[in-house]
Structure 1
Amino acid sequence: MGFLLAEMSGFTEIMKDRKIWKCLLAEFLGTLVLVFVGCGSCLNWDGPSGPGPSITQISLTFGLTVATMAQAIGHVSGCHINPAVTTGMLVANKMKPIKAALYVIFQCLGAISGAAILKAFTPEEIQGSLGMTVPNKEMAVAQALGVEFVITLILVLTVFGVCDGNRDDIKGSAPLAIGLSITACHLAAIKFTGSSMNPARTFGPAVVTSIWTEHWLYWMGPCGGGAVAGLLYRNAFQAAPARPDEGNCEYEPCAKGDKFQEEAAV
Protein backbone atom coordinates (compact mmCIF):
# COMPACT_ATOMS: atom_id res chain seq x y z
CA MET A 1 0.00 0.00 0.00
CA GLY A 2 2.80 2.39 0.92
CA PHE A 3 4.62 1.64 -2.34
CA LEU A 4 1.45 2.29 -4.34
CA LEU A 5 0.93 5.65 -2.65
CA ALA A 6 4.56 6.56 -3.26
CA GLU A 7 4.12 5.76 -6.95
CA MET A 8 0.84 7.64 -7.30
CA SER A 9 2.09 10.74 -5.50
CA GLY A 10 5.32 10.81 -7.46
CA PHE A 11 7.56 10.35 -4.43
CA THR A 12 9.34 7.42 -6.09
CA GLU A 13 9.82 9.46 -9.24
CA ILE A 14 11.37 12.36 -7.33
CA MET A 15 13.73 10.09 -5.43
CA LYS A 16 14.97 8.49 -8.66
CA ASP A 17 15.19 11.67 -10.70
CA ARG A 18 18.68 13.08 -10.22
CA LYS A 19 17.92 15.98 -12.55
CA ILE A 20 14.94 17.30 -10.62
CA TRP A 21 17.05 20.10 -9.17
CA LYS A 22 17.73 21.35 -12.72
CA CYS A 23 14.00 21.49 -13.42
CA LEU A 24 13.30 23.39 -10.22
CA LEU A 25 16.17 25.82 -10.85
CA ALA A 26 14.85 26.43 -14.37
CA GLU A 27 11.33 27.12 -13.07
CA PHE A 28 12.74 29.47 -10.43
CA LEU A 29 14.87 31.39 -12.91
CA GLY A 30 12.22 31.48 -15.62
CA THR A 31 9.56 32.91 -13.31
CA LEU A 32 12.07 35.39 -11.87
CA VAL A 33 12.82 36.71 -15.35
CA LEU A 34 9.12 36.82 -16.27
CA VAL A 35 8.22 38.93 -13.24
CA PHE A 36 11.28 41.17 -13.44
CA VAL A 37 10.92 41.94 -17.15
CA GLY A 38 7.13 41.74 -17.43
CA CYS A 39 6.33 43.79 -14.36
CA GLY A 40 9.16 46.14 -15.26
CA SER A 41 7.22 47.05 -18.40
CA CYS A 42 4.28 48.15 -16.19
CA LEU A 43 6.22 50.86 -14.33
CA ASN A 44 5.22 54.46 -15.00
CA TRP A 45 8.34 56.50 -15.70
CA ASP A 46 6.29 59.51 -16.77
CA GLY A 47 5.19 60.36 -13.23
CA PRO A 48 1.74 60.15 -11.61
CA SER A 49 0.21 62.48 -14.19
CA GLY A 50 1.97 60.90 -17.18
CA PRO A 51 0.42 58.48 -19.68
CA GLY A 52 2.45 55.54 -18.47
CA PRO A 53 3.20 52.40 -20.47
CA SER A 54 0.77 51.42 -23.22
CA ILE A 55 -1.30 48.23 -23.21
CA THR A 56 0.56 47.14 -26.35
CA GLN A 57 3.94 47.57 -24.66
CA ILE A 58 2.94 45.51 -21.64
CA SER A 59 1.25 42.81 -23.73
CA LEU A 60 4.22 42.35 -26.05
CA THR A 61 6.66 42.32 -23.15
CA PHE A 62 4.90 39.49 -21.33
CA GLY A 63 4.32 37.47 -24.49
CA LEU A 64 7.86 37.82 -25.81
CA THR A 65 9.39 37.13 -22.39
CA VAL A 66 7.53 33.83 -22.08
CA ALA A 67 8.49 32.88 -25.65
CA THR A 68 12.12 33.72 -24.93
CA MET A 69 12.26 31.72 -21.71
CA ALA A 70 10.55 28.77 -23.42
CA GLN A 71 13.41 28.72 -25.91
CA ALA A 72 15.97 29.03 -23.13
CA ILE A 73 14.74 26.46 -20.59
CA GLY A 74 11.94 24.54 -22.29
CA HIS A 75 14.18 21.51 -22.75
CA VAL A 76 15.01 21.47 -19.04
CA SER A 77 11.68 21.77 -17.21
CA GLY A 78 9.09 22.35 -19.91
CA CYS A 79 9.16 26.04 -18.92
CA HIS A 80 5.82 26.12 -17.15
CA ILE A 81 6.78 29.21 -15.08
CA ASN A 82 3.09 29.38 -14.18
CA PRO A 83 1.17 27.39 -11.53
CA ALA A 84 -1.87 27.36 -13.84
CA VAL A 85 0.10 25.51 -16.53
CA THR A 86 1.43 23.09 -13.92
CA THR A 87 -2.12 22.53 -12.68
CA GLY A 88 -3.22 21.71 -16.22
CA MET A 89 -0.38 19.21 -16.59
CA LEU A 90 -1.28 17.65 -13.24
CA VAL A 91 -4.96 17.06 -13.98
CA ALA A 92 -4.09 15.79 -17.46
CA ASN A 93 -1.82 13.21 -15.79
CA LYS A 94 1.33 14.61 -17.34
CA MET A 95 2.87 15.21 -13.90
CA LYS A 96 2.72 13.58 -10.49
CA PRO A 97 1.45 15.59 -7.48
CA ILE A 98 4.75 15.97 -5.62
CA LYS A 99 6.65 17.20 -8.66
CA ALA A 100 3.82 19.60 -9.50
CA ALA A 101 3.85 20.96 -5.94
CA LEU A 102 7.62 21.50 -6.11
CA TYR A 103 7.22 23.32 -9.44
CA VAL A 104 4.64 25.68 -7.94
CA ILE A 105 6.78 26.37 -4.87
CA PHE A 106 9.83 27.27 -6.95
CA GLN A 107 7.74 29.34 -9.36
CA CYS A 108 6.46 31.39 -6.43
CA LEU A 109 9.95 31.77 -4.99
CA GLY A 110 11.19 32.92 -8.39
CA ALA A 111 8.32 35.42 -8.65
CA ILE A 112 9.08 36.89 -5.23
CA SER A 113 12.76 37.17 -6.13
CA GLY A 114 11.96 38.83 -9.46
CA ALA A 115 9.68 41.39 -7.78
CA ALA A 116 12.23 42.06 -5.04
CA ILE A 117 15.02 42.63 -7.58
CA LEU A 118 12.76 44.91 -9.62
CA LYS A 119 12.01 46.96 -6.52
CA ALA A 120 15.69 47.15 -5.57
CA PHE A 121 16.69 48.33 -9.06
CA THR A 122 13.89 50.90 -9.46
CA PRO A 123 13.92 54.45 -8.03
CA GLU A 124 11.47 54.67 -5.14
CA GLU A 125 9.31 57.31 -6.80
CA ILE A 126 8.84 55.05 -9.86
CA GLN A 127 8.11 51.76 -8.08
CA GLY A 128 4.38 52.24 -7.60
CA SER A 129 2.71 48.84 -7.20
CA LEU A 130 5.42 47.03 -9.21
CA GLY A 131 2.90 46.04 -11.86
CA MET A 132 0.55 44.41 -9.38
CA THR A 133 -2.70 43.11 -10.89
CA VAL A 134 -6.00 44.16 -9.31
CA PRO A 135 -9.54 43.99 -10.73
CA ASN A 136 -11.00 47.07 -12.40
CA LYS A 137 -13.10 48.99 -9.89
CA GLU A 138 -16.08 48.83 -12.25
CA MET A 139 -16.06 45.03 -12.25
CA ALA A 140 -17.77 42.58 -9.91
CA VAL A 141 -15.51 39.98 -8.36
CA ALA A 142 -17.32 37.19 -10.22
CA GLN A 143 -16.68 38.98 -13.51
CA ALA A 144 -12.97 39.32 -12.76
CA LEU A 145 -12.81 35.66 -11.79
CA GLY A 146 -14.44 34.70 -15.06
CA VAL A 147 -12.04 36.79 -17.13
CA GLU A 148 -8.99 35.21 -15.49
CA PHE A 149 -10.53 31.75 -15.95
CA VAL A 150 -11.17 32.24 -19.67
CA ILE A 151 -7.86 33.86 -20.66
CA THR A 152 -5.88 31.22 -18.79
CA LEU A 153 -7.92 28.45 -20.39
CA ILE A 154 -6.92 29.90 -23.77
CA LEU A 155 -3.26 29.95 -22.77
CA VAL A 156 -3.15 26.40 -21.42
CA LEU A 157 -5.10 25.01 -24.39
CA THR A 158 -2.47 26.60 -26.61
CA VAL A 159 0.32 25.02 -24.57
CA PHE A 160 -1.23 21.57 -24.90
CA GLY A 161 -2.04 22.03 -28.56
CA VAL A 162 1.36 23.15 -29.80
CA CYS A 163 3.21 20.64 -27.63
CA ASP A 164 1.16 17.63 -28.69
CA GLY A 165 3.80 15.22 -29.97
CA ASN A 166 1.30 13.33 -32.10
CA ARG A 167 0.49 16.31 -34.32
CA ASP A 168 2.29 16.64 -37.64
CA ASP A 169 0.52 19.76 -38.85
CA ILE A 170 2.40 22.31 -36.72
CA LYS A 171 5.13 23.97 -38.77
CA GLY A 172 5.81 27.12 -36.77
CA SER A 173 7.43 27.90 -33.41
CA ALA A 174 5.66 26.50 -30.33
CA PRO A 175 7.21 29.08 -27.95
CA LEU A 176 6.15 31.90 -30.27
CA ALA A 177 2.59 30.56 -30.50
CA ILE A 178 2.35 30.42 -26.71
CA GLY A 179 3.83 33.91 -26.38
CA LEU A 180 1.34 35.27 -28.89
CA SER A 181 -1.57 33.73 -26.99
CA ILE A 182 -0.36 35.59 -23.90
CA THR A 183 0.01 38.81 -25.88
CA ALA A 184 -3.50 38.51 -27.33
CA CYS A 185 -5.10 37.84 -23.95
CA HIS A 186 -3.23 40.75 -22.39
CA LEU A 187 -4.41 43.08 -25.15
CA ALA A 188 -7.98 42.06 -24.39
CA ALA A 189 -7.94 41.75 -20.61
CA ILE A 190 -5.51 44.26 -19.10
CA LYS A 191 -8.28 46.78 -18.47
CA PHE A 192 -10.44 44.09 -16.86
CA THR A 193 -8.08 42.45 -14.34
CA GLY A 194 -4.55 43.42 -15.31
CA SER A 195 -4.46 40.10 -17.21
CA SER A 196 -2.48 37.98 -14.79
CA MET A 197 -3.08 34.49 -16.27
CA ASN A 198 -0.43 33.37 -13.81
CA PRO A 199 -0.82 33.14 -10.00
CA ALA A 200 2.94 33.42 -9.44
CA ARG A 201 3.15 36.58 -11.55
CA THR A 202 0.64 38.21 -9.16
CA PHE A 203 1.94 36.55 -6.00
CA GLY A 204 5.50 37.92 -6.34
CA PRO A 205 4.57 41.63 -6.42
CA ALA A 206 1.87 41.02 -3.79
CA VAL A 207 4.46 39.74 -1.31
CA VAL A 208 6.86 42.62 -1.99
CA THR A 209 4.23 45.41 -2.00
CA SER A 210 1.74 43.90 0.49
CA ILE A 211 -1.11 44.55 -1.94
CA TRP A 212 -3.56 41.65 -1.59
CA THR A 213 -6.69 43.08 -3.22
CA GLU A 214 -8.91 40.11 -4.18
CA HIS A 215 -5.72 38.07 -4.40
CA TRP A 216 -7.53 34.75 -4.16
CA LEU A 217 -9.20 35.19 -7.55
CA TYR A 218 -5.77 35.35 -9.21
CA TRP A 219 -5.23 31.79 -7.98
CA MET A 220 -8.70 30.34 -8.39
CA GLY A 221 -9.39 31.81 -11.83
CA PRO A 222 -6.13 30.85 -13.59
CA CYS A 223 -5.75 27.46 -11.87
CA GLY A 224 -9.39 26.65 -12.62
CA GLY A 225 -8.91 27.63 -16.26
CA GLY A 226 -5.71 25.61 -16.46
CA ALA A 227 -7.34 22.54 -14.93
CA VAL A 228 -10.34 22.67 -17.30
CA ALA A 229 -8.03 23.17 -20.29
CA GLY A 230 -5.95 20.15 -19.28
CA LEU A 231 -9.00 17.92 -18.88
CA LEU A 232 -10.57 19.20 -22.08
CA TYR A 233 -7.48 18.61 -24.18
CA ARG A 234 -6.77 15.20 -22.70
CA ASN A 235 -10.30 13.90 -23.15
CA ALA A 236 -11.41 15.62 -26.33
CA PHE A 237 -8.66 17.24 -28.36
CA GLN A 238 -5.52 15.09 -28.15
CA ALA A 239 -4.18 13.87 -31.47
CA ALA A 240 -3.76 10.13 -31.87
CA PRO A 241 -0.73 8.62 -33.63
CA ALA A 242 -1.25 7.55 -37.23
CA ARG A 243 -2.40 3.94 -37.34
CA PRO A 244 0.10 1.53 -38.92
CA ASP A 245 -2.39 0.44 -41.60
CA GLU A 246 -3.45 3.95 -42.56
CA GLY A 247 -1.66 6.80 -44.19
CA ASN A 248 -3.50 9.55 -42.40
CA CYS A 249 -3.69 10.53 -38.73
CA GLU A 250 -7.04 10.04 -37.03
CA TYR A 251 -7.81 12.14 -34.00
CA GLU A 252 -8.85 10.29 -30.85
CA PRO A 253 -8.80 11.22 -27.14
CA CYS A 254 -5.55 9.33 -26.57
CA ALA A 255 -2.02 10.41 -27.24
CA LYS A 256 1.52 10.27 -26.01
CA GLY A 257 2.15 11.88 -22.65
CA ASP A 258 5.91 12.25 -22.33
CA LYS A 259 6.18 14.80 -25.10
CA PHE A 260 4.14 17.28 -23.10
CA GLN A 261 6.52 17.02 -20.17
CA GLU A 262 9.52 17.67 -22.38
CA GLU A 263 8.15 20.48 -24.53
CA ALA A 264 5.38 22.25 -22.62
CA ALA A 265 6.14 25.89 -22.15
CA VAL A 266 4.76 28.66 -20.35
Structure 2
Amino acid sequence: MLKDLCSGAFLRAVLAEFLGTFIFVLFGLGSALAWPSALPTILQISLAFGLAIGTLVQVIGHVSGAHLNPAVTLAFLVGSQISLIKSIFYILAQMIGAVAGAGLLYELTPSEVRGNLAINSINEDTSPGQAVAVELFITMQLVLCVLGTTDSRRTDNIGTPALSIGLSVTLGHLLGIYFTGCSMNPARSFGPAVIMGLYSYHWVFWVGPMCGAIFGSLIYNYLLVPPLKSPLDRLSILQGSFDPEHEREREEHRKQSVELNSFHKSMEKV
Protein backbone atom coordinates (compact mmCIF):
# COMPACT_ATOMS: atom_id res chain seq x y z
CA MET A 1 0.00 0.00 0.00
CA LEU A 2 2.84 2.40 0.86
CA LYS A 3 4.40 1.60 -2.50
CA ASP A 4 1.16 2.60 -4.24
CA LEU A 5 0.99 5.87 -2.27
CA CYS A 6 4.40 6.89 -3.61
CA SER A 7 3.74 5.78 -7.17
CA GLY A 8 3.54 8.30 -9.97
CA ALA A 9 0.09 7.11 -11.01
CA PHE A 10 -1.34 7.67 -7.52
CA LEU A 11 0.18 11.14 -7.18
CA ARG A 12 -1.02 12.13 -10.65
CA ALA A 13 -4.53 10.95 -9.80
CA VAL A 14 -4.64 13.01 -6.59
CA LEU A 15 -3.24 16.03 -8.44
CA ALA A 16 -5.91 15.58 -11.14
CA GLU A 17 -8.66 15.60 -8.49
CA PHE A 18 -7.24 18.79 -6.99
CA LEU A 19 -6.87 20.55 -10.33
CA GLY A 20 -10.23 19.34 -11.65
CA THR A 21 -12.15 20.48 -8.58
CA PHE A 22 -10.26 23.78 -8.61
CA ILE A 23 -11.36 24.49 -12.20
CA PHE A 24 -14.90 23.20 -11.61
CA VAL A 25 -15.49 25.49 -8.63
CA LEU A 26 -13.86 28.47 -10.32
CA PHE A 27 -16.04 28.25 -13.42
CA GLY A 28 -19.18 27.03 -11.68
CA LEU A 29 -19.26 29.70 -9.00
CA GLY A 30 -18.15 32.31 -11.51
CA SER A 31 -21.27 31.68 -13.58
CA ALA A 32 -23.51 32.46 -10.60
CA LEU A 33 -22.12 35.89 -9.72
CA ALA A 34 -24.51 38.84 -9.90
CA TRP A 35 -23.01 41.26 -12.42
CA PRO A 36 -25.05 44.51 -12.50
CA SER A 37 -25.62 44.43 -16.26
CA ALA A 38 -26.52 40.74 -16.54
CA LEU A 39 -27.99 38.72 -13.70
CA PRO A 40 -27.37 34.99 -14.14
CA THR A 41 -30.30 32.79 -15.12
CA ILE A 42 -30.98 29.32 -13.74
CA LEU A 43 -30.33 27.83 -17.18
CA GLN A 44 -27.00 29.63 -17.47
CA ILE A 45 -25.81 28.41 -14.07
CA SER A 46 -27.03 24.87 -14.72
CA LEU A 47 -25.28 24.67 -18.07
CA ALA A 48 -22.07 26.16 -16.67
CA PHE A 49 -21.80 23.55 -13.93
CA GLY A 50 -22.78 20.75 -16.29
CA LEU A 51 -20.41 21.81 -19.07
CA ALA A 52 -17.58 22.23 -16.57
CA ILE A 53 -18.03 18.68 -15.29
CA GLY A 54 -18.40 17.25 -18.79
CA THR A 55 -15.23 18.98 -19.95
CA LEU A 56 -13.22 17.89 -16.93
CA VAL A 57 -14.41 14.27 -17.14
CA GLN A 58 -13.17 14.25 -20.72
CA VAL A 59 -9.81 15.74 -19.70
CA ILE A 60 -8.87 13.79 -16.56
CA GLY A 61 -11.23 10.82 -16.57
CA HIS A 62 -8.40 8.49 -17.64
CA VAL A 63 -6.09 9.87 -14.93
CA SER A 64 -8.18 9.70 -11.77
CA GLY A 65 -11.69 8.75 -12.84
CA ALA A 66 -12.65 12.43 -12.51
CA HIS A 67 -14.67 12.10 -9.30
CA LEU A 68 -14.33 15.82 -8.45
CA ASN A 69 -16.89 15.26 -5.71
CA PRO A 70 -16.58 13.65 -2.25
CA ALA A 71 -20.04 12.12 -2.75
CA VAL A 72 -18.96 10.37 -5.96
CA THR A 73 -15.80 9.13 -4.27
CA LEU A 74 -17.90 7.78 -1.39
CA ALA A 75 -20.16 6.01 -3.90
CA PHE A 76 -17.16 4.24 -5.44
CA LEU A 77 -15.92 3.33 -1.95
CA VAL A 78 -19.29 1.84 -0.98
CA GLY A 79 -19.25 -0.14 -4.24
CA SER A 80 -15.74 -1.47 -3.46
CA GLN A 81 -14.33 0.22 -6.55
CA ILE A 82 -11.66 2.29 -4.84
CA SER A 83 -9.39 1.77 -1.84
CA LEU A 84 -10.06 3.48 1.47
CA ILE A 85 -6.72 5.29 1.46
CA LYS A 86 -7.20 6.56 -2.10
CA SER A 87 -10.69 7.79 -1.29
CA ILE A 88 -9.32 9.77 1.68
CA PHE A 89 -6.66 11.42 -0.47
CA TYR A 90 -9.20 12.11 -3.22
CA ILE A 91 -11.60 13.85 -0.84
CA LEU A 92 -8.82 15.92 0.72
CA ALA A 93 -7.62 16.96 -2.75
CA GLN A 94 -11.17 17.87 -3.79
CA MET A 95 -11.76 20.00 -0.70
CA ILE A 96 -8.45 21.82 -1.02
CA GLY A 97 -9.05 22.34 -4.73
CA ALA A 98 -12.50 23.78 -4.02
CA VAL A 99 -11.11 26.24 -1.48
CA ALA A 100 -8.36 27.27 -3.91
CA GLY A 101 -10.87 27.76 -6.75
CA ALA A 102 -13.22 29.82 -4.58
CA GLY A 103 -10.29 31.82 -3.21
CA LEU A 104 -9.01 32.70 -6.68
CA LEU A 105 -12.51 33.72 -7.80
CA TYR A 106 -12.79 35.93 -4.71
CA GLU A 107 -9.57 37.72 -5.62
CA LEU A 108 -10.49 38.11 -9.29
CA THR A 109 -14.03 39.43 -8.73
CA PRO A 110 -14.90 43.05 -7.87
CA SER A 111 -16.25 43.39 -4.34
CA GLU A 112 -19.62 44.72 -5.51
CA VAL A 113 -20.13 41.64 -7.67
CA ARG A 114 -18.84 38.73 -5.59
CA GLY A 115 -21.71 38.91 -3.06
CA ASN A 116 -21.58 35.74 -0.95
CA LEU A 117 -19.65 33.93 -3.71
CA ALA A 118 -22.66 31.78 -4.67
CA ILE A 119 -22.69 29.91 -1.37
CA ASN A 120 -25.34 27.22 -1.16
CA SER A 121 -28.22 28.31 1.06
CA ILE A 122 -31.65 26.97 1.84
CA ASN A 123 -34.62 28.75 0.28
CA GLU A 124 -36.62 30.63 2.92
CA ASP A 125 -39.68 28.49 2.10
CA THR A 126 -37.70 25.24 2.40
CA SER A 127 -37.07 23.43 5.67
CA PRO A 128 -33.71 21.79 6.46
CA GLY A 129 -35.36 18.38 6.15
CA GLN A 130 -36.72 19.19 2.70
CA ALA A 131 -33.32 20.54 1.68
CA VAL A 132 -31.61 17.32 2.74
CA ALA A 133 -34.17 15.27 0.80
CA VAL A 134 -33.67 17.33 -2.37
CA GLU A 135 -29.88 17.09 -2.11
CA LEU A 136 -30.19 13.36 -1.51
CA PHE A 137 -32.24 12.69 -4.62
CA ILE A 138 -30.36 14.96 -7.03
CA THR A 139 -27.07 13.45 -5.88
CA MET A 140 -28.46 9.93 -6.13
CA GLN A 141 -29.39 10.45 -9.79
CA LEU A 142 -25.89 11.81 -10.45
CA VAL A 143 -24.25 8.80 -8.81
CA LEU A 144 -26.47 6.38 -10.73
CA CYS A 145 -25.48 8.13 -13.95
CA VAL A 146 -21.76 8.04 -13.11
CA LEU A 147 -21.84 4.37 -12.15
CA GLY A 148 -23.95 3.39 -15.13
CA THR A 149 -21.92 5.25 -17.76
CA THR A 150 -18.53 4.13 -16.41
CA ASP A 151 -19.41 0.47 -15.80
CA SER A 152 -16.80 -1.63 -17.65
CA ARG A 153 -19.21 -4.59 -17.71
CA ARG A 154 -21.53 -2.87 -20.18
CA THR A 155 -21.35 -4.08 -23.77
CA ASP A 156 -24.07 -1.88 -25.26
CA ASN A 157 -23.57 1.56 -26.78
CA ILE A 158 -23.36 3.94 -23.83
CA GLY A 159 -22.54 7.05 -25.84
CA THR A 160 -20.18 9.57 -24.26
CA PRO A 161 -19.85 9.28 -20.46
CA ALA A 162 -18.52 12.84 -20.17
CA LEU A 163 -21.61 14.24 -21.89
CA SER A 164 -23.99 12.02 -19.89
CA ILE A 165 -22.45 13.02 -16.56
CA GLY A 166 -22.42 16.70 -17.53
CA LEU A 167 -26.10 16.54 -18.43
CA SER A 168 -26.83 14.78 -15.14
CA VAL A 169 -25.22 17.67 -13.26
CA THR A 170 -27.26 20.12 -15.35
CA LEU A 171 -30.44 18.20 -14.56
CA GLY A 172 -29.74 18.34 -10.83
CA HIS A 173 -29.23 22.09 -10.98
CA LEU A 174 -32.44 22.73 -12.89
CA LEU A 175 -34.34 21.39 -9.89
CA GLY A 176 -31.99 21.93 -6.96
CA ILE A 177 -31.30 25.63 -7.48
CA TYR A 178 -34.84 26.45 -6.36
CA PHE A 179 -34.44 24.63 -3.04
CA THR A 180 -30.79 24.87 -2.00
CA GLY A 181 -28.87 26.56 -4.78
CA CYS A 182 -27.96 22.97 -5.73
CA SER A 183 -24.84 21.44 -4.26
CA MET A 184 -24.74 17.72 -5.14
CA ASN A 185 -21.10 18.15 -4.21
CA PRO A 186 -19.88 18.87 -0.65
CA ALA A 187 -16.61 20.28 -1.99
CA ARG A 188 -18.52 22.81 -4.11
CA SER A 189 -20.30 23.99 -0.94
CA PHE A 190 -17.20 23.80 1.25
CA GLY A 191 -14.96 26.04 -0.89
CA PRO A 192 -16.97 29.29 -0.84
CA ALA A 193 -18.13 28.66 2.74
CA VAL A 194 -14.49 28.64 3.91
CA ILE A 195 -13.56 31.73 1.91
CA MET A 196 -16.59 33.73 3.07
CA GLY A 197 -16.71 32.26 6.59
CA LEU A 198 -20.41 31.48 6.26
CA TYR A 199 -21.62 28.06 7.46
CA SER A 200 -25.39 28.48 7.91
CA TYR A 201 -26.94 25.00 7.53
CA HIS A 202 -23.67 23.85 5.99
CA TRP A 203 -24.29 20.34 7.33
CA VAL A 204 -27.20 19.98 4.87
CA PHE A 205 -24.76 20.05 1.97
CA TRP A 206 -22.79 17.16 3.43
CA VAL A 207 -25.55 14.97 4.82
CA GLY A 208 -27.80 15.17 1.74
CA PRO A 209 -25.21 14.45 -0.96
CA MET A 210 -23.35 11.82 1.06
CA CYS A 211 -26.57 9.92 1.87
CA GLY A 212 -27.63 10.21 -1.77
CA ALA A 213 -24.28 8.78 -2.84
CA ILE A 214 -24.61 5.82 -0.47
CA PHE A 215 -28.14 5.03 -1.61
CA GLY A 216 -27.21 5.40 -5.28
CA SER A 217 -24.21 3.11 -4.91
CA LEU A 218 -26.18 0.47 -3.00
CA ILE A 219 -29.00 0.54 -5.56
CA TYR A 220 -26.71 0.24 -8.57
CA ASN A 221 -23.99 -2.05 -7.24
CA TYR A 222 -26.06 -4.43 -5.14
CA LEU A 223 -29.60 -4.33 -6.58
CA LEU A 224 -29.48 -3.41 -10.26
CA VAL A 225 -26.05 -4.79 -11.19
CA PRO A 226 -24.71 -7.13 -8.49
CA PRO A 227 -20.90 -7.32 -8.38
CA LEU A 228 -19.09 -10.22 -10.05
CA LYS A 229 -16.14 -9.95 -7.69
CA SER A 230 -16.05 -12.13 -4.60
CA PRO A 231 -16.29 -10.57 -1.12
CA LEU A 232 -12.57 -11.29 -0.67
CA ASP A 233 -11.72 -9.37 -3.86
CA ARG A 234 -13.88 -6.44 -2.77
CA LEU A 235 -12.12 -6.38 0.58
CA SER A 236 -8.77 -6.40 -1.22
CA ILE A 237 -9.84 -3.36 -3.25
CA LEU A 238 -10.79 -1.46 -0.11
CA GLN A 239 -7.45 -2.34 1.45
CA GLY A 240 -5.57 -1.29 -1.68
CA SER A 241 -4.05 -4.73 -2.24
CA PHE A 242 -6.16 -5.78 -5.23
CA ASP A 243 -4.11 -6.73 -8.28
CA PRO A 244 -6.02 -5.86 -11.47
CA GLU A 245 -3.56 -7.89 -13.58
CA HIS A 246 -4.34 -10.99 -11.54
CA GLU A 247 -8.05 -10.27 -11.92
CA ARG A 248 -7.74 -9.98 -15.70
CA GLU A 249 -5.81 -13.25 -15.87
CA ARG A 250 -8.44 -14.98 -13.77
CA GLU A 251 -11.27 -13.58 -15.89
CA GLU A 252 -9.50 -14.74 -19.04
CA HIS A 253 -9.04 -18.20 -17.52
CA ARG A 254 -12.73 -18.28 -16.62
CA LYS A 255 -13.74 -17.41 -20.19
CA GLN A 256 -11.44 -20.09 -21.59
CA SER A 257 -12.94 -22.65 -19.22
CA VAL A 258 -16.47 -21.73 -20.31
CA GLU A 259 -15.49 -22.00 -23.98
CA LEU A 260 -13.77 -25.34 -23.38
CA ASN A 261 -16.82 -26.74 -21.59
CA SER A 262 -19.06 -25.56 -24.42
CA PHE A 263 -16.76 -27.25 -26.93
CA HIS A 264 -16.82 -30.55 -25.01
CA LYS A 265 -20.62 -30.49 -24.79
CA SER A 266 -20.93 -29.85 -28.52
CA MET A 267 -18.54 -32.74 -29.25
CA GLU A 268 -20.57 -35.06 -27.00
CA LYS A 269 -23.71 -34.26 -29.02
CA VAL A 270 -21.88 -35.12 -32.22
8 Å contact 2:5–2:11 — kept in the other structure?
no
Matched, 1:77 2:64: yes
Which SS does the other structure have where 1:19 is aligned?
helix
Aligned to 1:254: 227
The alpha-carbon deviation at position 255 of structure 1 amounts to 4.1
Where do 4+ consecutive residues of structure 1 move more than 3 Å? 11-18, 255-258
Cα-to-partner distance string for 1:203-236 (whole Å, 9 max, x where unaligned): 0000001111100110111011111111111112
Cα-to-partner distance string for 1:107-164 (whole Å, 9 max, x where unaligned): 0000000000001111111110111111101111100000000000000000000111
Matched, 1:42 2:32: yes
Which SS does the other structure have where 1:99 is aligned?
helix
Matched, 1:25 2:15: yes
Matched, 1:117 2:93: no
TM-score by length of 2: 0.82
Aligned to 2:259: none
From the CA coordinates, give the structure whose radius of gyration is larger.
2
Query: Which AA in structure 2 matches 1:184?
Result: L
Gaps of 5+ in 2: 238-243, 245-270
Q: Percent of aligned positions with the same letter in both sequences? A: 44
8 Å contact 2:149–2:158 — kept in the other structure?
no
Output the CA distance in 1 between the equivalents of 2:171 and 2:112.
31
Output the CA distance in 1 between the equivalents of 2:198 and 2:151.
38
Gaps of 5+ in 1: 1-10, 239-252
> How many equivalent pairs are there?
232
8 Å contact 1:23–1:77 — kept in the other structure?
yes
> Alignment partner for residue 163 of structure 1, among 134, 141, 150?
150
- Quickly say closer, same or farther: Cα 1:132–1:94, change in 2 above 3 A: same
Aligned to 1:245: none
Output the CA distance in 1 between the equivalents of 2:161 and 2:131.
29
Cα-to-partner distance string for 1:50-86 (whole Å, 9 max, x where unaligned): x720000000000000000000100000000000000
- Quickly say closer, same or farther: Cα 1:166–1:136, change in 2 above 3 A: same
More helix by share: 2
TM-score by length of 1: 0.83
Measured on the aligned residues, the alpha-carbon RMSD in Å equals: 1.8
